[in-house]
Amino acid sequence: MKKKIAITFPYVPFFNGGAELHVENLKQKLTARGYNTEIISIPFKSYPECELWEQMLMWRTIDLSESCGETIDLVIGTKWPSYFARHQNKILWLIHQHRDAYDCQMRSFSPFYPGKPAFEFLQQFRDADSVALREAKKIFTISKNVSARLERFNGIQSEPLYHPPKHVGRYFCDNYGDFILSVGRFDPMKRLDLLIQGMCFTDKHIKCYIAGTGTASYTDELIKLTNRLKLENRVKFLGYISDDEMLKLYSESLCVYFAPVDEDYGYITLESFLSKKPIITAVDSGGVLEFAEHGVSALVCEPTPEQIGAAINQLYLDKSNAKEFGNNGYERVKDITWEHALDQLLAYSGF
């Protein structure tokens, strides 16, 4: 009989991003190995603050020891608070904790910001989190950056375990064109405003293509910023694009912009390098910097429009440099495989 594996994951209805891709790919790869695999999900909502405690309690009440009288052999927890689910054989592949209670706690949008009602419960929140985390037989994380947070805030050791992006094996490079590419979800933490402002400091022949979607309010902000800076003819918002369109854009771009704030992992980095394209990123972009090396495969800037613009110009004016950086990036990530990731993950399954 096939071993049964449950992957726990909190999903946000009507939203799809890197974490969702990771979990779906994990299920597919485990199924291909012959395991009976299911994703166990509960809709996630983080506001008002009381929802955070209810989310933890909902997951805590779930007993995944068996289903329909048959044993569930392994639970793989992924993202807060899904690893609160109870199981006697649980390992984690941690995407991230609830960052508002950790590295983002001192940002004004966090419910745990000093002076807000939830602030007085911050330590209890972290203590409850630590209890659930320590129940796991083994904790992997998706990056060194996530592992470092876990050790810094919770005193818990873990092991980074990298995995490739969705279309590994399909990325390719056609040429080094005259446009910089941005791909992904529209979110203030991704700092697309910096890219748009940076275009003011670039050669007028350079275009900027921004693919992806986000909330209507933030998308509107970005469009208004583009119009205010009179960049409508150079900055193009492509909206949602198909996978084939995305691969083609990667293949024809000069370089890729990916300068988020303290990113957990960042598929965009790997997708760019597998397409042999350099990236422009920032000194505070977190997990991106585990792969991107300044002057080797990337240009790592201070997060200012002037420096972003100067970096774009540098690659535009010397495309041989862009090609060299792209090839170096490819060499850095080409050996990251699902086979290795699954071997490591399942070594602690007890099977």
Task: Say what the pLDDT of residue 121 is.
Answer: 94
User: How far apart are alpha carbons 35 and 1 in whole angstroms?
Assistant: 9
Task: Say what the pLDDT of residue 344 is.
Answer: 95
Q: How big is the chain by its Cα radius of gyration, in Å?
A: 21
Strand 70-71, strand 66-67: pairing: antiparallel
Residues 271-287: tens digit of each pLDDT: 999 999 999 999 999 99
Query: Which residues are within 8 A (CB) of 221 and not within 5 positions of it... i.e. 6 or more apart?
Result: 193
Let me know how long the chain is: 351
Domain boundaries of the chain, sorted by first residue:
4-163+337-346, 179-333
User: Does residue 277 contact residue 324 with C-beta atoms inside 8 Å?
Assistant: no
User: Does residue 60 contact residue 85 with C-beta atoms inside 8 Å?
Assistant: yes
User: How far apart are alpha carbons 259 and 280 in whole angstroms?
Assistant: 7
Task: Say what the pLDDT of residue 222 is.
Answer: 97
**The listed CATH number (3.10.150.10, 3.40.50.2000, 3.40.50.10190, 3.40.50.300) that belongs to domain 179-333:** 3.40.50.2000
Residue numbers of the chain with a pLDDT score lower than 70 = none
Please state which architecture CATH assigns to domain 4-163+337-346.
3-Layer(aba) Sandwich (3.40)
User: Does residue 55 contact residue 42 with C-beta atoms inside 8 Å?
Assistant: yes
User: How far apart are alpha carbons 351 and 348 in whole angstroms?
Assistant: 8
Residue 70: exposure state from Cβ atoms within 10 A (0-12, 13-18, ≥19): exposed
User: Does residue 73 contact residue 3 with C-beta atoms inside 8 Å?
Assistant: yes
Pair of tokens at residue 61: 């009440």
> Nearest-CA neighbor of 84 among 134, 158, 20?
134
Quick check: helix, strand or coil at residue 160? strand
Task: Say what the pLDDT of residue 214 is.
Answer: 86
User: Does residue 301 contact residue 307 with C-beta atoms inside 8 Å?
Assistant: yes
